[in-house]
Structure 1
Amino acid sequence: HWRQLVLRAYWDGAEEPAVEVPYGDFFASGWGRFAQVDSQMIASNPHGGFNSYWPMPFREGAVLTLENTSDQDARVYYQVTYELGGDHSEDAYFHAQWRRSNPLEAATPHVLLEGVEGQGQYVGTYIAWGVNSNGWWGEGEIKFYLDDDEAGGFPTIAGTGTEDYFGGAWNFDVPGEGYTAFSTPYLGMPQVIRPDGLYISQQRFGMYRWHVADPIHFTTGLPRVDIQALGWKSAGRYLPLRDDIASTAIFYLDRPVTVRPEAPSFEAMEIHLGAGAGPHSPAGPARR
């Protein structure tokens, strides 16, 4: 049920959430299967012990909720540790947003964030990436359009490849071993789901990058953050891919509310890892 629950956080009486992310994706576990995450900000431990160490300051109050979007009960145990007092009037608010392209439109980048106004810093990315084609899939660049940058123009920051951004190199491919999972304090690819020759026909990956030691600051806004999905065709030509890409973008902002995408629904979040020839899960959308 990690992709059937939606985690939300509201700061200082705001009516709209600053955090609105599927439960599993928030904890770098977007594919509904356990993978060990040993990072500074998120620790995912056996079996489903999810821990977050992101600071979440507030001035007057905070509300955290968990919505079950399915018609099946979910048993959840939780602990929230907080401290009262002190002057937090200058602290920025914690935000997290989720978006999914399934499949990604042809020859277009996947958008992680757009239209954010105000001062703040971008601090984290998690992506659950489902590959829908043969061959290498991570040649695309991540791009950060800051302040006066025009989305679609020249970004302030442009990456050199998907595996480079998440801290790997040369396709995450260790000779003789293939794709190799790893988890470090600030970046990693902790999850590699391989085809099984039957109902799991495609590869699935989970990757994170926490910009804690290298935050991306913006003064007036963050017009857009996006990432390309590119492979290779013959003769060194790029192959635009139509993959399943679900991203969680994490940032701090000088206000508790900003523009956000549509709330994640059961249908939008659903994943199918091919458990068999019949329905892969007994859960369906919650009856209204």
Structure 2
Amino acid sequence: MKKLIFACLTILAFMHAGMQAQNFDGLDNNLSNLYRTSDAQTRSISPENFTGEKGKGGMAKLGEGAASHEARELGQGYKVSPYVIIQPGETFTMAEIEGPGCIQHIWLTPTGNWRFYILRFYWDGEKEPSVEVPVGDFFGMGWGEYAHLNSLAVCVNPGRAFNCYWQMPFGKKCKITIENIDVKPTRLYYQVDYTLTNIPDDAAYFH
């Protein structure tokens, strides 16, 4: 009898472990798993919310945001600070995130020459970037001129709207910077959408 009870408990333990292993991590969303829930937490970083803190989007106040004048009749919550100005020679940190998690979408709308703005991605405290590339090249616009691009991974829409949907997992930390090597300032509109969740042990890093 004791052996039977032990065997049953062992089977239940394995079943529980299997169910735990199958918990949805909130990534790879598609129509076949829309019904699934997870403990993943989605966040978004932008000039309105530099840290991606929960509930802090659209909190810039008139008089503090970059577009306070344009939003003067709308008030807080209406893109009071939709962009940043990056001076010549300046490196701006777009995102700095504690993991584990995964970047799921990046949107940029830079002004000026797209080849003069250098994107860099650092994973887990790296001193040297895993990715170092001009903005235009990263989004398939290496010639510095707009061309409509519509693909699963990268979309470029009219008005310099650059979007990428590469999933970029990280275990400990993610840092994304952009350097202006032009002689003119640039105005950068941007948004980084990410998910805080455990990542698979076999997840490769974007590079």
1:191 and 1:207 in contact (8 A); partners too = no
Decide whether aligned partners of structure 1 residues 244 and 220 sit closer, same or farther in structure 2, where only a CA change above 3 A counts: same
Counting aligned pairs with the same residue, the percent is 13
The alignment status of 1:168 with 2:141, answered yes or no, reads yes
2:88 and 2:180 in contact (8 A); partners too = no
Cα deviation for residue 93 of structure 1 reads: 2.1
Q: Tell me the amino acid that sits aligned with residue 158 of structure 1.
A: E
1:107 and 1:241 in contact (8 A); partners too = no
Cα deviation for residue 87 of structure 1 reads: 5.8
Structure 1 moving runs of 4+ over 3 Å:
none
Q: Could you give the per-residue CA deviations for residues 35-86 of structure 1, whole angstroms, max 9, x where no partner exists?
A: xxxxxxxxxxxxxxxxxxx949xxxxxxxxxxxxxxxxxxxxxxxxx74xx5
Q: Tell me the amino acid that sits aligned with residue 247 of structure 1.
A: Y
Q: Tell me the amino acid that sits aligned with residue 117 of structure 1.
A: E
Distance 1:87 1:123 in 2: 18
**Of residues 123, 132, 140 in structure 2, which corresponds to 1:158?**
132
2:45 and 2:191 in contact (8 A); partners too = yes
Higher helix share: 2
5+ residue gaps, structure 1, are: 1-53, 57-81, 173-178, 193-204, 231-238, 256-288
Distance 1:252 1:245 in 2: 23
2:162 equivalent in structure 1 = 207
Q: Tell me the amino acid that sits aligned with residue 157 of structure 2.
A: P
Q: Could you give the per-residue CA deviations for residues 214-241 of structure 1, whole angstroms, max 9, x where no partner exists?
A: x22211111x2012233xxxxxxxx343
Distance 2:117 2:186 in 1: 12
2:102 and 2:197 in contact (8 A); partners too = no
Question: Aligned with 1:141: secondary structure?
Answer: strand
Distance 2:125 2:171 in 1: 9
Q: Tell me the amino acid that sits aligned with residue 144 of structure 2.
A: N
Larger radius of gyration: 2
**Of residues 94, 97, 112 in structure 1, which corresponds to 2:45?**
97
1:274 equivalent in structure 2 = none
1:137 and 1:229 in contact (8 A); partners too = no
For this pair of structures, how many residues does the alignment match?
134
Distance 1:118 1:190 in 2: 31
Scaled by the length of structure 2, the TM-score of the pair is: 0.55
Please list, as runs of the form range in 1=range in 2, the aligned pairs for 1:1-288 lying within 5 A after superposition: 55=29, 83=35, 86=36, 88-89=38-39, 92-99=40-47, 101-114=83-96, 116-131=97-112, 136-149=113-126, 153-159=127-133, 161-172=134-145, 179-192=146-159, 205-211=160-166, 215-222=167-174, 224-230=175-181, 239-254=182-197
Q: Tell me the amino acid that sits aligned with residue 155 of structure 1.
A: P
Q: Tell me the amino acid that sits aligned with residue 111 of structure 1.
A: T
Q: Tell me the amino acid that sits aligned with residue 185 of structure 2.
A: R
RMSD: 2.6
Question: Aligned with 1:164: secondary structure?
Answer: helix
1:137 and 1:241 in contact (8 A); partners too = no
Q: Tell me the amino acid that sits aligned with residue 143 of structure 1.
A: R
